[in-house]
């Protein structure tokens, strides 16, 4: 019988690890028991901050810890593949921060190891699991707006993080924030596009500073995505269907509100929902991992591995149009 409490370890001690640890405190049936860093000092500091009992001075030690069930990989983009495979081969379930990998080839290696080792693996696309997004999926499944035909998603901000400008660290707006509207479009239409048209501004350091993408699906549906780390955008998500539309209140990736409009826009019947949460939103993806482990699943049906792979292929296609490659490719 699967145990009720999932014992978590966090690999890495940076900003995103801090966010996950903060959210994990609000996850039901979850306990943060270990942290792994490349240095004793940072492991100890993180452990003190979050009262983590087991503090490891290497990633290998964390992966080998018998008291850990699942590991959240929070390292920089180029490290995701190696860190994830390390944990999977040590017998741990893994929640890997998005973007899942640098490219589809890396992602395929990670998925292959998970399936070979029969270990749980999921991309940490936390937006999928927040209550407002769950309600959006329910509206779509109910046919509340008829057939979804168009989607627009935008995520852009003025960045001050050096890693975003550095190709050696897998920088660029697409991998950091473009992944959010791209994954949202995949969730809405339930499949990948047949045509991709992409433009970007490639900056002096060689990464995309802002970009725009149009996706066309096999039944003519369209998605328009904008993303940036030098431009503040509306942070909106809008889904337009044959019988209405859904507006997800900004910022859509951690929304607590959404509005359903049914009928012609001037006379549409309006249904607005508010779904606040106590934590920072990261608790819901952790709860999904715990649920899957208790049910003996090797992947989530909300964020399945084949969909993660397909999204990575679309991102490869987008960068190919920009003629943009990372040094490690």
Residue 3: per-residue pLDDT = 59
Count the neighbouring beta carbons within 10 Å of the beta carbon of residue 264.
Answer: 9
Cα–Cα distance for residue pair 60/42, rounded to 1 Å: 15
DSSP annotation of 267? G
| Among 129, 95, 121, CA closest to 11 | 95
Q: How many angstroms separate the CA atoms of 270 and 262, rounded?
A: 7
Architecture of domain 131-276+311-322: 2-Layer Sandwich (3.30)
pTM beyond 0.85, yes or no:
yes
Instruction: From first to last of the 329 residues of the chain, give the pLDDT tens digit.
Output: 345 899 999 999 999 999 999 999 999 899 999 999 999 999 999 999 999 999 999 999 999 999 999 999 999 999 999 999 999 999 999 999 999 999 999 999 999 999 999 999 999 999 999 999 999 999 999 999 999 999 999 999 998 878 899 999 999 999 999 999 999 999 999 999 999 999 999 999 999 999 999 999 999 999 999 999 989 999 999 999 999 999 999 999 999 999 999 988 767 789 999 999 999 999 999 999 999 999 999 999 999 999 999 999 999 999 999 999 999 99
Q: What is the pLDDT of residue 162?
A: 86
DSSP-derived 3-state class of residue 289: helix
All residues at 6 or more sequence positions from 234 whose CB lies less than 8 Å from its CB, including other chains: 154, 250
State how far the Cα of 149 lies from the Cα of 40, in Å rounded to an integer. 52
Listed by start position, the domains of the chain span 6-127+282-296, 131-276+311-322
The residue among 315, 10, 320 whose CA lies nearest residue 175 is 315
- Give the C-alpha separation, 111 to 90, whole Å: 15
CATH architecture assigned to 6-127+282-296: 3-Layer(aba) Sandwich (3.40)
Q: Write the DSSP symbol of residue 51.
A: T
| Contact assessment for residue 148 and residue 121, using Cβ atoms and an 8 Å cutoff | no
What are residue 151's DSSP bridge partners? 223, 239
DSSP-assigned letter for residue 249? P
């Amino acid at each position: 019988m699967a145990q009720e409490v999932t014992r978590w370890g966090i690999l890495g001690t940076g900003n995103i690890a801090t966010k996950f640890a903060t959210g994990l405190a609000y996850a039901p049936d979850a306990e943060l028991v270990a942290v792994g860093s490349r240095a004793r000092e940072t492991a100890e500091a993180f452990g003190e901050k979050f009262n983590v009992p087991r503090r490891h001075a290497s990633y290998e030690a964390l992966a080998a810890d018998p008291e850990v069930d699942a590991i959240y990989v929070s390292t920089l983009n180029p490290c995701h593949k190696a860190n994830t495979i390390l944990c999977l081969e040590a017998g741990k379930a893994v929640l890997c921060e998005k973007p899942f990998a640098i490219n589809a080839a890396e992602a395929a290696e990670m998925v292959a190891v998970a399936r070979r080792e029969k270990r749980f693996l999921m991309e940490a696309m936390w937006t999928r699991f927040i209550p407002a997004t769950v309600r959006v999926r329910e509206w779509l499944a109910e046919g509340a707006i008829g057939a979804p035909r168009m989607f627009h998603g935008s995520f852009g901000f003025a960045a001050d993080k050096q890693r975003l400008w550095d190709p050696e660290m897998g920088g660029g707006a697409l991998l950091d924030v473009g992944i959010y509207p791209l994954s949202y479009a995949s969730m809405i239409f339930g499949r990948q596009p047949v045509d991709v048209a992409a433009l970007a501004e490639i900056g002096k350091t060689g990464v995309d500073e802002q970009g725009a993408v149009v996706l066309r699906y096999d039944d003519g549906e369209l998605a328009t995505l904008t993303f940036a780390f030098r431009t503040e955008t509306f942070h909106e998500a809008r889904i337009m269907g044959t019988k209405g539309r859904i507006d997800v209140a900004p910022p859509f990736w951690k929304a607590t509100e959404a509005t359903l409009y049914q009928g012609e826009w001037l006379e549409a019947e309006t249904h607005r929902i508010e779904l606040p949460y106590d934590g920072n939103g990261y608790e819901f993806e952790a709860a999904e991992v715990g649920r899957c482990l208790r049910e003996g699943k090797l992947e989530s049906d909300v964020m399945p591995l084949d969909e993660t792979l397909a999204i990575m292929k679309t991102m490869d296609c987008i960068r190919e149009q920009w003629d943009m490659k990372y040094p490690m490719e």
